[in-house]
A and B are shown apart, each in its own frame.
Chain A
Amino acid sequence: QKEVEQNSGPLSVPEGAIASLNCTYSDRGSQSFFWYRQYSGKSPELIMSIYSNGDKEDGRFTAQLNKASQYVSLLIRDSQPSDSATYLCAVSGSFKTIFGAGTRLFVKA
């Protein structure tokens, strides 16, 4: 079992729709959870961090964490073509951050 699992996609949504990205992790001791966005040929950039159960909203982005289910998700509302990228889920515990393989998102104009 991979430590952090994501659906590789591609996930295709029309402009203006909600994109839902999901991630599961295996280490129950994980404490911090991050979503990074990576455009092709660029380095990952942090877009959301979440540390406790529940929802965290920042603009069009909402991160959701459920530690009991070992599940974290990212919702992107009013998706734009510029949101097209690979989204990486990252989980930290024991001072080490593990990344998922990433989900490719395409937002069609």
Chain B
Amino acid sequence: QQQVKQSPQSLIVQKGGISIINCAYENTAFDYFPWYQQFPGKGPALLIAIRPDVSEKKEGRFTISFNKSAKQFSLHIMDSQPGDSATYFCAALPSGGATNKLIFGTGTLLAVQP
């Protein structure tokens, strides 16, 4: 069964600190790895994404690190701010499919304390 495992389930970080969320997959080839941010009462919004031919991608304070051999990828939020408090989902797109069906992780609830 296609699956993406995400950890930790919840995370508390002080303002200005680094938030790190990890995801891992197994048994299936994926070729696109987006991260989504979801605020309460809202739908998920695309934050940043990476393809497996790249080991790192940075956009502002957000960085994705990708380890293809270990089948792991992670999101780093530098200089975390209270406004970053939200639920973060990693996701993966199975390769070879005709649809953009995403497999989502179970989410990480991030709380950034002022």
> Do A and B assemble together?
no
List residues of A whose CB falls within 8 A of some B CB.
none
